[in-house]
Structure 1
Amino acid sequence: MSTIDSAEEPGYTNSYLGDQHAGQLMRLRTLERAFDPLSRTVFGLLPLPDKPAILDLGAGAGSFAGWLSKRYPDATVIATDIDTRFLTDIPGIRVLTHNAATDDFPAASFDVVHVRALLCHLSEREDILNKATTWVRPGGWLVIEDVSLRPSLRAANPLFRKVALAGFTLLEQSIGSDMLWADVLPDRLRERGLSFIGHRTLEGRIGDDSPADAFWASTTAQAGPTLLKLGLLTQDDLDAMARLRASSTFTEAALTFISAWGQVPERG
């Protein structure tokens, strides 16, 4: 089996999932449609001040940052990304170019720090989580949301399991992703001293024409050329998977959307 050339620098930005890819905006929109309902539900559970300062770290295509500005019209909503090309023309938000791995914010800057579908793809994820905790004011909230691929690795259908494992391997090799990292998100927040820990999950399936199905399909399609180049799958595998997904008799759990949140304790 082929592996990533050591001369190529791994990482999300330079990968087949980078924002420079022609299909990336469409793929991010499918992620938003799948994940936004859970994110909105979580924010509905948080007691926030009248004029909260909210950081949406790694805001992607910006649908949730835009929703935050409407849900909290008196809030200061800062949306960041290493590539902000999709965050223009969203009313009510402030956009900052920001590298979560290397850039910082002053301590106690925000009432809420929200991070979604980002940390699983960054090798510095634990350090970023440590930093993000310090950016939250005492009494404020850290909300971490991410994706786990564990259901697909346990799939009953052998073809789907093969394709899922290839995608899992590609993410690990080319980006440094850990697509099981989110499985214990509540424990990660608890280890950092947060209190009032809560969590919710949402199962994503394929073969059912759901938003999660569209997200899985668009991601797999974007990964296809790299999967073939590295010999992780053949064109016959991809064609057979497309037929299986289109079958009226096939549907299976593919991933889990996971949300976890905790409150930074008040001083004293």
Structure 2
Amino acid sequence: MTLTVNLDEPGYTSSFLADQHAGQLARLRTLERVFDPLSQEVFDQLVLADKPAILDLGAGAGSLAGWLSQRYPQASVTATDIDTRFLTDILGIRVLTHNAATDDFPVASFDVVHARALLCHLGEREDLLTRAITWLRPGGWLVIEDVSLQPSLSAANPLFRKVAQAGITLLEQTVGSDMLWAATLPDRLRDRGLANLGHRTLEGRIGDNSPADTFWAATTAQAGPALLKRGLLEQDDLDGMTRLRADPAFTAAALTLVSAWGQVV
């Protein structure tokens, strides 16, 4: 299936990140390989209720939702997304089509609400954080994980900085993303009165053939046509970045994965 994108209509579902893109599932799998180990470590630290009700909000390709159903076999795991095409074949979960920006759940519906690589792309991110807390029962956990591209803006290599800034600008223009917001997550949860707060960060690099490198490359390749159409980069920039990544002498910090969690009291 090919992507039809109206670049004059902002929003995730009409952007280069949309699920109808031919390469989107493969790109999401690269994100999962980066983030799943960190997410699993976070859940292993949490003490959950017996038979917990878990919401995986904006579940993407569903690897974490599937893992949660196995990690907590007595749990009810609900996986949602605005486009659920990649969630339909995962055993042990309930799948709901849900727009996190506008759709609610009843108060005190869940023991865990989790969202990963979602809120940075939503203009309503602050409101969603507040609403998600109301969906939790007393003692329930809010677990928010997201991506910051701050490290790429201070990279030594000027071409990498240029490509990274172009990607950030494209996300701002076409999706409304804030790719620096994730660094504020611990403070956001603290400000909302959650208890037993915790957070972890993991640096992702490019040029080292790591999962983060593969994720960065897949996302940049998928963004290429939109970057060129908007004049944010030239083809020479993209070709030069491909050569730079392949240079054995090059590696640089590209992103930070941030996980933050807290408990409703």
TM over 0.5: yes
Query: Which residue identity is paired with 1:115?
Result: A
Query: How far apart are 1:108 and its partner, in Å?
Result: 0.6
Q: 1:94 to 1:7 in 2, by over 3 A?
A: closer
Classify the secondary structure of the residue corresponding to 2:115.
strand
Q: Which runs of 5+ in 2 are unaligned?
A: 1-5
Alignment of 1:1-268 (within 5 A): 8-265=8-265
What TM-score, normalized by structure 1, do the two folds share? 0.96
Classify the secondary structure of the residue corresponding to 2:84.
coil
Query: How far apart are 1:173 and its partner, in Å?
Result: 0.7
Query: How far apart are 1:9 and its partner, in Å?
Result: 2.1
Q: Alpha-carbon deviations, 1:63-103, whole Å to 9, x = none?
A: 00000000000100000000000001100000000000111
Runs of 4+ in 1 over 4 A off after TM superposition: none
Query: Which residue identity is paired with 2:108?
Result: A
- Root-mean-square deviation (CA, aligned residues, Å) is 1.0
Query: How far apart are 1:49 and its partner, in Å?
Result: 1.6
Partner of 1:3: none
Q: Alpha-carbon deviations, 1:241-260, whole Å to 9, x = none?
A: 00000010100000000000
Whole-angstrom distance in 1 between the partners of 2:9 and 2:225:
18
Query: Which residue identity is paired with 1:227?
Result: L
Q: Which runs of 5+ in 1 are unaligned?
A: 1-5
Q: Is the 8 A contact 2:7 2:174 kept in 1?
A: no
Instruction: Using CA pairs under 8 Å that are at least 6 residues apart, name the structure with larger relative contact order, 1 or 2.
Output: 1
Whole-angstrom distance in 1 between the partners of 2:202 and 2:72:
24
Whole-angstrom distance in 1 between the partners of 2:130 and 2:140:
15
Query: How far apart are 1:7 and its partner, in Å?
Result: 8.3
Query: Which residue identity is paired with 2:99?
Result: N
Q: Which moved more, 1:175-184 or 1:7-16?
A: 7-16
Query: Which residue identity is paired with 1:59?
Result: A
Q: Is the 8 A contact 2:118 2:146 kept in 1?
A: yes
Q: Alpha-carbon deviations, 1:96-152, whole Å to 9, x = none?
A: 000001110001110000010000001011111111010011111000000000000
- The alignment of Structure 1 onto Structure 2 pairs a total of residues equal to 260
